[in-house]
Amino acid sequence: MEDNRYYVYIVSDSLGETASQVTKAAMNQFANKDYILKKYNYIRDVDAVNEIVAEASNHQSIIMYTTVIDELTFAIEHMCNEHNVICHDLMSPILIQFEKFFGEPAARKPGSMYKMDDDYFERVAAIEFAVKYDDGKDLRGLKYADVVLLGISRTSKTPLSMYLSHKNVKVANVPLVPEIPVAKEIHEVPRHKLIGLTNSPEKLNEVRIERLKALGLSSNVEYANFDRILEELDYADRVYRQLGCPVINVANKAIEETASIILEITGLNIKLK
């Protein structure tokens, strides 16, 4: 069977976050394209580059890379030319301009953006916190959170938690289900830390059906039923009013936009500046 999908490869000699963010920002402008994103971090030898490019040559591929090691940059360019694979260097043009600006060569040291300083360890701790207290796994962690997100299924609780954790914010999130009473631990969280998330019923119906399809399940189940979704939204609204917490509708917002609103509401954007 012919594979008509596009493959976008991200290659980095470090964590690869710079390449990921730039690439995803660009891909958001092509929302109608079906593509597979493949990320390769901490690539430090030519053999690994050869394997990645050889794999990419089997598909409709583009390789976006941020490598500061000259040997790797040359290897990627050479191999992509050999295999007729499109590639784009995200780092070298910027470094060259700064070398001209400062009048001296760049250090060309991988991972310079992520030095092992206090900020790095705070970020790691925040990410571990988000994973540990995701989806209401352990409500004991709510009192230690900077932000507690509430919402019914598919209101972007987990993506927001992970995004904010990379900003050094400790986030816990708790699902709301009509059949399950609101836990007492939520009532003990200071109101300025609580954020309610909601979505339009149409969008929820759409994303839940897609979620079921991805899991290989039928869309004709209560989870994606429109009346059920309206019931859940109504329940969540009642909870938010009872708690007196601000509510954000994520229906037409990117994760970055919603996260920015959360930081502003909680005052954490001041802390991060």
Q: What is the pLDDT of residue 109?
A: 74
Q: Return the residue matching tokens 């994103």.
A: 37
153 is in an annotated binding site: yes
pTM of the predicted model as reported, rounded to 2 decimal places: 0.62
Q: What is the pLDDT of residue 68?
A: 85
- Edge-first strand order for the sheet with 247-249 is 171-175, 147-151, 194-198, 247-249
Q: What is the pLDDT of residue 272?
A: 64
DSSP line for 89-118:
ESSHHHHHHHHHHHTS-----TTGGG-SSH
Q: What is the pLDDT of residue 213?
A: 87
Residues of the chain short of pLDDT 70, as ranges, are 1-2, 111-118, 270-273
152 is in an annotated binding site: yes
Q: Does domain 6-113 have CATH number 3.40.50?
A: yes
**pLDDT per residue as tens digits for the range 31-73:** 788 899 999 988 888 999 999 999 999 999 999 999 888 899 9
Q: Which of 200, 198, 191 is nearest to 265 (CA)?
A: 191
Q: Where are the domains of the chain?
A: 6-113, 118-272
**6-113 and 118-272 agree in CATH topology:** yes
103 is in an annotated binding site: no
Residue 258 CB contacts under 8 Å (≥ 6 apart), including other chains: 156, 160, 197, 248, 250
Q: Does domain 118-272 have CATH number 1.10.10?
A: no
Q: What is the pLDDT of residue 33?
A: 86
Cα separation values, 47 from 25, 75, 91, 241, Å: 30, 9, 21, 58
Q: What is the pLDDT of residue 186?
A: 97
157 is in an annotated binding site: yes
Q: Return the residue matching tokens 């290897």.
A: 75
156 is in an annotated binding site: yes
